[in-house]
């Protein structure tokens, strides 16, 4: 077998130019597949992280009727108990209780509908890192009365800036219209401009006072140490709080779960298409190699080399050719992903606004899990095996007497 391996490797370089061209083709093809997959995974991973960390969280808890009516009177009655349990839960990294109400935002130039979020600044910062998204001004605190934090897209829309006065109008606990004046203390910007345009943040205590409640929490956003624990976490708390609606990130935002499921499938499809294209090139190369060596193969058969060894020899030649190109492609792909994963790909010049409309950051950081290279190796070997079958069968059909006399 060792001799067969050596002969197969040497045969590969008998036509050096053709072999090098094929190796480069395999290398470039696999590098393209790796780059495309890493870019796609990076794009989806960034979308997932920004949505989870900035908007959805891993889980959300509501009063069931609040999700139907979005009425502030449907609040979490046992919040103090829930607060204690979440604070003591080792799976919880952070959580934030929010007061939520629909309302209108009015400035001197425009009136528009918004979702008003009453927050505890410290808890919200730990849960969604909202404080890290401030692009102008300061994160709201108790240093001055009635601060409001608005998104950059909303600020541009209503022509507001730091210190601008805005009026928020909404229904209080008696369904009477309440209005209050706020000052813009900060402007934030996330990857999703649509979200920024619809959400404003005020201090929870001040909003509760305006609503006519001493303390009210309509929503609790929870961040766990692993998003894969969300389902088990939800089941555990549903048993404790059957009166509440506890939803995981995949239930809140099913498109995120769909994108996660589709990512691996799309990667396999992309790689399969590339390998199919390369298979035709390999098939052509190996057929040419067999045709050029008809006389030689006939002589090997004539002196006693059985058909099994002929088949294995051609299989090994195809495998060596494919794996050499694949190895180089994976090396180039690995270093490309490592470099771009650190420095990112800036798409600002080619459609930053369009990307942000769908919640994508304009700077993409390609990422690829180690298992991908295992998958590539398996698929490459399978491609080599299937590609070598037809040239090998052609060689096996040769008749030694006729092959020896071939010109």
The tens digit of pLDDT for each residue in 49-60 reads: 777 777 788 999
Residue 226 has pLDDT above 70, yes or no: yes
pLDDT at 192: 77
Q: Describe the crossing of helices 371-396 and 16-51 by its angle, rounded to 10 degrees.
A: 150
Residue 76 has pLDDT above 80, yes or no: yes
CA 230 to chain centre: 18
Give the model's confidence band at 173: pLDDT under 50 very low, under 70 low, under 90 confident, else very high. Answer: confident
Q: What is the mean pLDDT of residues 18-31?
A: 83
Q: What is the mean pLDDT of residues 24-36?
A: 83
**What would the pLDDT profile of 245-261 be if each residue is shown by its tens digit?**
999 988 888 777 777 67
Residue 404 has pLDDT above 60, yes or no: no
Give the model's confidence band at 295: pLDDT under 50 very low, under 70 low, under 90 confident, else very high. Answer: low
Give the model's confidence band at 86: pLDDT under 50 very low, under 70 low, under 90 confident, else very high. Answer: very high
pLDDT at 117: 94
Q: What is the mean pLDDT of residues 98-104?
A: 93
**What would the pLDDT profile of 120-140 be if each residue is shown by its tens digit?**
999 999 998 888 889 999 998
Residue 407 has pLDDT above 60, yes or no: no
Give the model's confidence band at 29: pLDDT under 50 very low, under 70 low, under 90 confident, else very high. Answer: confident
Give the model's confidence band at 242: pLDDT under 50 very low, under 70 low, under 90 confident, else very high. Answer: very high
Residue 320 phi, psi (nearest 5): -60, -45
Give the model's confidence band at 359: pLDDT under 50 very low, under 70 low, under 90 confident, else very high. Answer: low
Q: What is the mean pLDDT of residues 184-210?
A: 89
Burial class (CB within 10 angstroms; exposed 0-12, middle 13-18, buried 19+) of 353: exposed
Residue 356 has pLDDT above 70, yes or no: no
Residue boundaries of the structural domains of the chain? 2-52+257-404, 64-243
Residue 357 has pLDDT above 70, yes or no: no
Q: What's the rounded Cα separation, in Å, for the pair 121 and 123?
A: 6
Q: What's the rounded Cα separation, in Å, for the pair 67 and 247?
A: 11
Give the model's confidence band at 349: pLDDT under 50 very low, under 70 low, under 90 confident, else very high. Answer: low
Q: What is the mean pLDDT of residues 219-238?
A: 91
Average pLDDT score, the chain? 82
pLDDT at 293: 67
Of all residues in the chain, what percent carry a pLDDT higher than 70? 87
Residue 358 has pLDDT above 60, yes or no: no
Residue 63 has pLDDT above 80, yes or no: yes
Which H/E stretch holds residue 91?
none
Could you tell me which of 291, 292, 311 has the C-alpha nearest to residue 301?
A: 311
Long-range contacts from 233-241, C-beta under 8 angstroms, 24+ separation:
233/58, 233/59, 233/91, 234/59, 237/61, 237/85, 240/85, 241/61, 241/78, 241/82
Strand partners, 92: 224
Which H/E stretch holds residue 371?
helix 371-396
Which H/E stretch holds residue 165?
strand 165-171
Residue 386 has pLDDT above 60, yes or no: yes
Residue 308 has pLDDT above 80, yes or no: no
More confident residue, 36 or 166: 166
More confident residue, 269 or 249: 249
Residue 347 has pLDDT above 80, yes or no: no
pLDDT at 301: 66
Residue 220 has pLDDT above 60, yes or no: yes
Identify whether the C-beta of residue 204 lies closer than 8 Å to the C-beta of residue 99: yes
pLDDT at 396: 67
More confident residue, 217 or 383: 217
Q: What is the mean pLDDT of residues 73-93?
A: 91
Strand partners, 137: 186
């Amino acid at each position: 077998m060792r001799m067969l391996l050596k002969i197969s490797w040497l045969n590969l370089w008998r036509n050096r130019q053709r072999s090098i061209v094929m190796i480069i083709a395999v290398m470039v093809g696999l590098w393209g597949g790796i780059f495309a997959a890493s870019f796609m995974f990076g794009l989806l991973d960034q979308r997932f992280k920004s949505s989870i960390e900035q908007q959805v969280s891993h889980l959300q808890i509501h009063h069931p009727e609040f999700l139907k009516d979005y009425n502030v009177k449907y609040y979490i009655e046992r919040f103090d108990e829930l607060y204690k349990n979440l604070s003591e839960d080792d799976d919880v990294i952070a959580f934030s209780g929010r007061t939520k109400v629909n309302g209108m935002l009015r400035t001197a130039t425009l009136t528009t509908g918004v979702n008003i979020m009453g927050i505890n600044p410290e808890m919200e910062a730990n849960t969604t890192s909202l404080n890290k998204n401030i692009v102008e001004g300061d994160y709201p605190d108790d240093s001055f009365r009635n601060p409001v934090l608005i998104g950059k897209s909303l600020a541009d829309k209503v022509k507001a800036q730091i210190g601008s006065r805005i009026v928020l109008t909404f229904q209080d606990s008696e369904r009477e219209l309440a209005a209050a004046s706020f000052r813009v203390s900060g402007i934030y910007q996330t990857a999703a401009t649509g979200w920024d345009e619809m959400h404003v943040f005020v201090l929870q205590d001040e909003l509760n006072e305006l609503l006519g409640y001493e303390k009210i929490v309509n929503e609790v956003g929870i961040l766990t140490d692993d998003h894969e624990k969300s389902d088990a976490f939800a089941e555990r708390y549903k048993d404790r709080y059957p009166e509440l609606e506890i939803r995981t990130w995949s239930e809140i935002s099913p498109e995120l779960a769909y994108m996660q499921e589709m990512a691996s499938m799309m990667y396999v499809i992309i790689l399969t298409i590339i390998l199919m294209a390369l298979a035709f090139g390999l098939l052509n190369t190996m057929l040419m190699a067999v045709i050029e060596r008809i006389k030689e193969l006939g002589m090997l058969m004539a002196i006693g080399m059985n058909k099994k060894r002929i088949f294995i020899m051609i299989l090994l030649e195809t495998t060596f050719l494919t794996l050499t190109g694949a190895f180089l492609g994976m090396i180039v792909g690995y270093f490309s992903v490592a470099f771009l994963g650190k420095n990112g790909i800036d798409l600002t010049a080619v459609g930053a606004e369009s990307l942000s409309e769908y919640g994508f950051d304009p700077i993409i950081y390609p990422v690829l899990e180690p298992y991908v290279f295992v998958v590539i190796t398996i698929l490459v070997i399978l491609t080599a095996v299937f590609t070598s079958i037809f040239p090998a069968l052609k060689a096996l059909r040769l008749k030694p007497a006729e092959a020896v006399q071939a010109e």
